Amino acid sequence: MELININQFSSRRFPLSKKTEIMIHRVPITKARINLGEVARRVHVNKEYFILEKDGIPVAGIMDAEELEDYLELRDPTVRTHIQKSTAAWRAGKSRPAKQLLTELRPEAKAKRRRV
């Protein structure tokens, strides 16, 4: 059985930064089914996206499971509220540098180890 090169279908690159690009591939659903293992590997390892088409119409998308979980979590209203509150606190200057926080946490961690 000969595998079909799924790169022959349309792809788009969206630069996020100098090092990162988003790869979105549009693939007929039948070709994706034939090459499902390869599609899954590329989604997981290369962080690529696939839009599956039936008769040229987009019907589904494939993305990495961890990213999907993050996306679903962000749709949770309580998580969004927490993010909005923390962003407002940061904008109001109620944050501090990470080095300062780590300096404060290190003595506490050492004290806990001594007690044990």
Contact 3, 38 (CB under 8 A): yes
- Residue 26, amino acid: R
Residue ranges matching CATH 3.40.1620.10 in the chain: 6-67
- pTM for this one? 0.58
| Residues written for the chain | 116
Which tokens belong to 5? 């090169």
92 DSSP 8-state letter: T
CATH of 6-67, one of 3.40.640.10, 3.40.1620.10, 3.30.70.100, 3.30.1600.10: 3.40.1620.10
The three-state secondary structure class of 63 is coil
**pLDDT 10s per residue in the chain (116 long)?**
344 455 555 555 555 555 567 889 999 999 999 999 999 999 999 999 999 999 999 999 999 999 999 888 888 888 888 888 888 888 888 887 888 888 888 876 566 666 65
Buried b (16+ CB within 10 A) or exposed e, 94-112: eeeeeeeeeeeeeeeeeee
